[in-house]
Structure 1
Amino acid sequence: MPDLKVTADHLRRDAYLYIRQSTLRQVAENGESTQRQYGLRHRAIAAGWPAERIHVIDCDLGKSGSSAVARDGFQELVSEVALAKAGVVMGLEVSRLARNNADWHRLLELCALTSTLILDEDGVYDPASFNDRLLLGLKGTMSEAELHFLKARMRGGQLNKASRGELEMAPPVGLVYLPDGTLALDPDAEVQAALHMVFTTFGRLGSATRTVKFFLDEGILFPRRLRKGPHKGELMWAPPRHARILQVLHNPRYAGAFVYGRTRGRPRPGGGVSQIKLAMADWRFVMPDMHPGYIDWERFKANQERLADNAQAYRIQRRAGPVREGSALLQGRVLCGLCGARMGVHYSQEHGRPVPTYICQETTIRGGGKACQSVPGKVVDPAVGALLVELMTPMTLEVTLAVQRELEARAAETDTLRRQHIQRTRYDAELARSRYMKVDPDNRLVADALEAEWNEKLRLHTDVVEDYERRAPEEAAALDAGMHQRVRDLAEQFPRIWNDPRVDVRERKRILRLLVADVTLIKAEAITVSVRLSGGATRILTLDRPLPIAQIRRFKPELVAEVDHLLDRHCDREIADIFNERGLRTWEGKPFSLNKISFIRSAYNLPSRRQRLRDQGMLTTREVAKHFEIAETTVHQWGRQGLISKVCSDNCNRGLWNIPSDLRIIKGRPGRTALATRTASITALSTRQDAL
């Protein structure tokens, strides 16, 4: 009997049958459910739709109904309904169409607006009718709740196994499941050596980036196990990436611990779930020592703390960070003694070189106030360096032996890893050769491919051997007897090496971080430096504050007095030469110059050499000519004749005339008698000097 809800208007439009199974496994194993969904076509034919106008949408087989984002078939169905092309939408049950209330009610709203019917195994519904819409809404809610119950059951079983540490999860490279279900180290010695080297190198260098650089510089490859594809389960060796090394360092399974709940899912607005990493304190299940590992749990936690300190993300308090370029010795180790925050480093130029200043900007950043304090690094760094040299003196022998053992162990570990890689490439080449030798020679299609594979494996083995032979002499030379002797000399020469400008500043910072936990600075009348050593002991240093630049540039009173004294007999240039001959230098450590002496005269209001001569009554050429009513050329002629003398007054460029008292009293042009008398006196004086 035809349903009364189906009208001629509905029959003029097409019928759409939506078919979906949640997973591909259900499609393969639950064939009866799929057949029941296809069988709904007969319900549409019975209601009056011809078979050629019944469209089957089954491209969403194997897709979950929890979201409509990845379901192209459901999107097509919604489009046809919105365009008023559908007279009826068919699904075996509501859960086939959607298990998400938002998607389900959106479809109901469109069906109500376009007068589209909904048909399932129980009957036909009109979304425009309140009663039908209420019933469909209840069915959608029950479908969504059913999905929740299914997930809750599976989640409960998963958590139950995880609480006992028995939940199997894909192990990272370097760990494998044994046939009895226990987790153990990978039996491949080369894989174990590569992972051991990662943790050893990070412990030595303290930085994931520098660990990657060490692997790349040494030409060491890192393994990766393929998770999918035709070569699933095989090992692939490649140069490590920074993200790969971080994954290894952050993975607690390498510490022999079972951990569950390191991430938390959060639904995305457009559908799907994003994973958010949780802090270690928020992990749901943490069970150390559940299986063998490459490091212990305490070392894993220490590595996490170091990685957190190295992080450069903006946080409540900036972490110490790894050692970097820059001359600031205490970079990342300085705390403000006023507010307790970590102090940053600011560099400025002084005499053409960068000078560090430790500055606390916590108040500036957080509250828009002023900086707590700034402490000059040129005062603090040398004092802490001297303290470090003093502390290193009693333990020099122990340090020397430790450095020597570290060099030898590092070289042996690297050599072992390279030898293992050679063995692996040799095995791969022999395996490729064995495959090639077993193939039928007449089957050229297969034989050519196997021969090319054999040649590629041989080439790779040859490259690895050549690289090993090239690096072996370099490492042997680095560990010769001369190197051992230089390491032994380190104990006695440590102060000289520490102060050697050729030593990289990052090496000094690493040495300091081994001994110093942090340094607290307080700047008052003096600078108080509280050095907390790694063992917990504390050293207090009290340093004088540096003089202000105005006082540094201020010349000493005795120097100014000497300039004042010399100006009675010398010009500025001559005074500069005298100071340089005496070995005197400016506050910048530079020789004195004409401009520097002129600056001293101007700054301290000292009369110049010319002014002093003028005060003594000496005249210029023009003034002499005017006084005696003669030409200026005559003045110079008198000077050559010795009637008057010229005294240097201005940087050896100009001078003033010293007029004798017997000529000075003469006004106007002097008479012949006076000139003759003056000339005779000069001639007699010259004759007397020649006789002497």
Structure 2
Amino acid sequence: MIHDHHEGYISWADYQSNQAVIAHNANRVGAMVRGSVKCGGALLSGLLRCGHCGSKLSTQYPAPGVIRYQCAARVLNHEQSCCVTFGGLRVDRMVAEQVLRCLRPHAIGAAIEAIENVQGASDERVHQKALALEQARYEVDRAQRRYDVVDPAQRLVAAELERRWNEALKVQAQIEQDLAALKTERPTSVTAATKAELLALAEDLPCLWDHPGSSPQIKKRLLRTVLKDIIATSEDNAIRLVLHWQGGDHTELRFEKNRTGKHRYVMDTDTIELIRSLARIQPDSMIASILNRMGRHTPHGQTWTAVRVCATRNNHAIAVYREGERQTRGELNVSEVAAILSVTQTTVLRMIRLRRMPATQACVNAPWVSAVSRSDVPMFTYGDGCGGYALRINCCSIIDEGRARAAQTTRSWGSAPDRALAVRQLSGM
């Protein structure tokens, strides 16, 4: 074969790359090749090989959103123990981080090249459509030559050749319309906003990688472009991965195996302790409401309900709230304190914010609870924390102080409606 004897549709390097991809897409060969890129979410499918027996690791999907890699030797011989098996989500994330870390220095150059490709006239789609138009014109010319040389006496043959000529003309007209539409849609220049967006994506590759529009097929092709294969070996309580890059370098990764009962759906300790604290002052339905207002979700990403709170309590041996349990411990909420003092709940909340009444709150949006006894509510002591003195406070002084502050503030307002608005705002403090 004489290379570059005439101009080809693609370069010799592209031809060899395409042949390599076609060879690896031959799934019938089995473990000898990577296999074709499929629609599954496992990004390392076809790249992983067992470090013990050399077999290719098979990909399994035990449940929606769950990925598992397992040595394929046990599939052929069920009596043999599995060499290595591990979950795929964490491994996919670790390998992707390594690839993005290696591609980050070249990200700005790739973004600039993308801008130049958009600005230039060598649009791949236009080029492919132009080649298709050239082929269509050749088909039209050949159909015309065939029609011209036919014997007029052969009506059936002439009619068939005329029909083929018309079909070729229709195809040519359609391709010409598509080519004109592509040239019209192609921007002549890239705006400054587009340039800034491309450069921002180049600086934040993880955001681009996790974008919903980034399909698993694109990620798999990118990983296969930079990685030759990955060797997985089981070592005691850890899995060791050796990444073989296309350039010949190697990178070693290591992660601990998941212990029994440890998985990604385990609830965090903070949420468990928060439910434990709230269960002493609120029923399950109110606990679910508080957790939802805080924006917390279950390990499966669901909102909280009374049933789910109850299941969590049962799994962690947390007792259910009993009616009157708080009163038995001598704790009062805001409404009970307000009823004893004959004031509004807003006044009690203001006393708590001014640290003139001791109260605790399990978390944001949780009810305030005061351990002051009913007899000490109207007249109690509050220390300054310095071991000094105790101050006796009457709640009426809080009310008088709020009214005085509102009156002083409203004097600076001009019109009566403005003063009324200020009073309403201050009264809700």
Shorter chain as normaliser: what TM range? 0.5 to 0.7
CA contact (8 A) 1:335 1:343 kept: yes
Give the Å deviation of 1:472. Answer: 0.7
Tell me the secondary structure at the aligned position of residue 341 of structure 1.
coil
Q: Which residue of 1 aligns with 2:246?
A: 534
Is contact 1:422–1:464 with CA below 8 Å preserved after alignment?
Answer: no
Q: Distance in 2 between matches of 1:431 and 1:563?
A: 85
1:452 aligned onto 2:143:
no
Kindly report which structure 2 residues correspond to 1:97-496, keeping only aligned pairs within 5 A, or say none.
196-197=8-9, 299=16, 306-313=21-28, 315=30, 317-349=31-63, 353-366=64-77, 368-396=79-107, 399=110, 401=113, 404=117, 408=123, 411-430=126-145, 432-433=147-148, 435=149, 445-446=153-154, 448-449=155-156, 451-452=158-159, 455-477=162-184, 479-481=186-188, 490=198, 492-494=200-202, 495=205, 496=207
Out of 285, 290, 314, the residue aligned to residue 578 of structure 1 is 290
Q: Which amino acid aligns with 2:311?
A: F
Contact 1:343 1:361 in 2 (8 A): yes
Is contact 1:327-1:355 (8 Å) kept? no
Structure with the bigger RCO (C-alpha within 8 Å, sep 6+) is 2
Amino acid at match of 2:66: V
Change (3 A) 1:616 1:517: same
Paired residues in the alignment total: 319
2:314 is matched with which residue: 598, 602, 611?
602
For residue 536 of structure 1, report the CA deviation from its aligned partner: 0.5
Moved more, 566-575 or 462-471: 566-575
1:494-528 alpha-carbon deviations (Å, 9 max, x no partner): 42432211122212211221111112223443443
* Unaligned stretches of 5+ residues in structure 2: 330-429
Whichever residue aligns with residue 588 of structure 1, its letter is H
Point out where structure 1 has 5 or more consecutive residues left out of the alignment.
Answer: 1-182, 205-294, 618-692
Shift of 1:357: 1.6
Structure 1 distance, partners of 2:72, 2:280, is 54
Q: Which of 504, 509, 512 is matched with 2:215 structurally?
A: 504
CA distance in structure 1 between the partners assigned to 2:319 and 2:186 by the alignment: 70
Task: Please report the RMSD computed on the Cα atoms of aligned residues, expressed in angstroms.
Answer: 4.2
User: Shift of residue 429 of structure 1?
Assistant: 0.9
Report the Cα offset of residue 534 of structure 1: 0.7
Change (3 A) 1:334 1:348: same
Give the letter aligned to residue 322 of structure 2: R
Read off the aligned partner of 1:321 and give its amino acid letter.
Answer: G
Q: What TM-score, normalized to structure 1? A: 0.40
Structure 1 CA distance, aligned partners of 2:133 and 2:109?
30
- Deviation of the 1:459 alpha carbon: 0.8
Alpha carbons of structure 1 residues 364 and 593: separation in structure 2 relative to 1, 3 Å: same
Q: What displacement does 1:421 show?
A: 3.3
The answer for the alignment partner of 1:62 in structure 2 is none
Change (3 A) 1:451 1:595: closer
Look up the equivalent residue of 2:182 and give its one-letter code.
E
Indicate the residue corresponding to 1:516 in structure 2: 227
Q: Secondary structure at the match of 1:359?
A: strand
Closer, same or farther in 2 for the Cα pair 1:612/1:347, shift >3 Å? same
Structure 1 residues 577 and 420: CA distance shift in structure 2, 3 A: closer
**Secondary structure of the residue that 1:370 maps to in structure 2?**
coil
* Contact kept? 2:74, 2:82, Cα under 8 Å: yes
| Cα distance in 2 between the residues matched to 1:343 and 1:598 | 41
Letter aligned with residue 143 of structure 2: D
Cα pair distance change 1:455/1:546, threshold 3 Å: same
Q: TM-score, normalised by structure 2?
A: 0.61
Contact 1:570 1:609 in 2 (8 A): yes
Partner residue, 2:427: none
Q: Which has the larger radius of gyration?
A: 1
